[in-house]
Amino acid sequence: MSITPQRTPNPNALKFGVGVEVGGPRSYVRANAGDDPLAERLLAIDGVASVFMTADFVTVSKSTEADWSEIAPTVQVALERYYQDS
The per-residue pLDDT for range 6-25, each reduced to its tens digit, is: 999 999 999 999 989 998 89
**SS3 state of residue 45:** coil
Q: Which residues does 44 contact at the CB level (< 8 Å), separation at least 6?
A: none
Express each pLDDT in 32-84 by its tens digit: 888 899 999 999 999 999 999 999 999 999 999 999 999 999 999 999 999 88
pTM over 0.85: yes
pLDDT at 85 (0 to 100): 75
Q: Find how far residue 13's CA is from the centre of its chain.
A: 9
Closest listed residue to residue 52, CA positions, set 71, 32, 66, 73: 32
